Amino acid sequence: MRVGNTATPRPAPLPHALLAPTSSVRTARREDAAALADLSQPFVRSGALRERPASLYATHAADFLLTEAPDGTLEGCVGLRVHPAGPEEGRRPAGVVYNFCVAGHRQGSGVGATLLRAVLARARARSLGALFTATTGGGGLFLRYGFAPTTARLAPPSWAQSLDPRRNARILTRIL
């Protein structure tokens, strides 16, 4: 009499994102300003991000969430600026997601998705009605997380007016 195979099944291989070290997410501090500026530089050079001085990162450190490797190296960052709704609008405040970048060696590893989930959670905790962002790229990650194309007239006016039309950025929004 033959008994079935008793070999222990082998687990399926893990996707690359699960093999990479886990990143922690935290709010940036003033002392992170230089590292945030350095992390952003490749994206500024490529035209994907606007140039921002380290002093801006220091002044607005509380806007930023960042991911760190276990050794403390910054792997990604994203800013969330809250724009109050005008009294005539009858809407809740809106948020603008900005300066979203992930270090080249960590792209495709889940760091961007981790940051985007964290910024969505922060926006909900602040009772924002919608999030807006502008991208010069395809915006695939944003689209996968429920963002959709919109127009500047629906965005917070001060932010929409600050957009450089020469960058030809696409505006995306997500209602929360």
For the chain, domain boundaries: 17-175
CATH number of 17-175: 3.40.630.30
Compute how many other C-beta atoms are within 10 angstroms of the C-beta atom of residue 109.
21
Which phi-psi region, left, alpha or beta, contains residue 62 (left: φ > 0; alpha: ψ -120 to 50)?
alpha
Mean per-residue pLDDT, 3-26: 49
Reply yes or no on whether the pLDDT at 16 is more than 50: no
**What are 89-111's pLDDT values in tens digits?**
567 899 999 999 999 999 999 99
Tell me the β-bridge partners of 80.
97
Structure tokens at 163: 């957009």
**Predicted TM-score (pTM) of this structure:** 0.83
At 70, the amino acid letter reads P
Average pLDDT, the chain: 87
